[in-house]
Amino acid sequence: MGVSTAVPTQGIAVVTIDYPPVNALPVQGWFDLADAVRAAGRDPEVRCVVLAAEGRGFNAGVDIKEIQRSAGHAALIGANHGCSEAFAAVYECEVPVVAAVHGFCLGGGIGLVGNADAIVASDDATFGLPELDRGALGAATHLARLVPQHLMRALYYTSRTATAGELHRHGSVWEVVPRARLLGSALELAGEIAAKDGHLLRLAKAAINGIDPIDVRRSYRFEQGFTFEANLSGVSDRHRDAFISQKGQS
């Protein structure tokens, strides 16, 4: 359980998230993920990173139970900083990052894949931000990189999800495959990328980030400020408590 890194073939590092049952990461998990992605990108032998997950789904966001059982605001602040670091690590990784997404990709998962360079998804994958239902705000920055502006707003306000097929039609998902083929297809794309010159790939990643019209780190931190406002008002606790109660009954 946790975050692990493997090198299944030359030039490709696979960073895998494994936090049963739903890959809702605790505070330390987000920092561990950030460290793993950054370390893989710094390795001179690595030319592409694949971000994958074990279990029922790719990512269910932050561990809300950890936040609710912690006194004060330390866990909430830790989760916000941890998410910010993990998202930034994917975006700032020195080499391209391919996300291999299966099942649900929610909340923090959107922050990760929205900052990836390419996405391969299984045909059962769904993407969404249930933030308003969880007493939080954030990652609209990253959802806006996956779908057009008005669709992003509608998905955000309703907490509805989009399928991998829908995102493929919008051009943000590279390929949709059966789950059994997911990792193989992600590795195939990563292999095509890793066949390029490693020095040039690093220059290309820096150049593409440099012309990005959105500063994703700054815009996400701006969004997070409203999460803190919601928390101070008490509305966040009400929604998080209701979510935990609902999950306990299901």
pLDDT tens-place string over residues 66-81: 888 877 788 888 999 9
The closest of 110, 130, 127 to 166, measured between CA atoms, is 127
Quote the DSSP letter at residue 149.
H
> Residue 216 has which token pair?
């994703």
The CATH T-level fold of domain 2-179+206-249 is 2-enoyl-CoA Hydratase; Chain A, domain 1 (3.90.226)
120: left (phi over 0), alpha (psi -120 to 50) or beta: beta
Task: Give pLDDT, residue 249.
Answer: 46
Cis peptide bond N-terminal to 21, omega within 30: yes
pLDDT band at residue 248 using 50, 70 and 90 as cut-offs:
low
Task: Give pLDDT, residue 122.
Answer: 98
Amino acid (1-letter code) at residue 115: N
Mean pLDDT, to the nearest integer, of 80-103? Answer: 98
pTM: 0.95
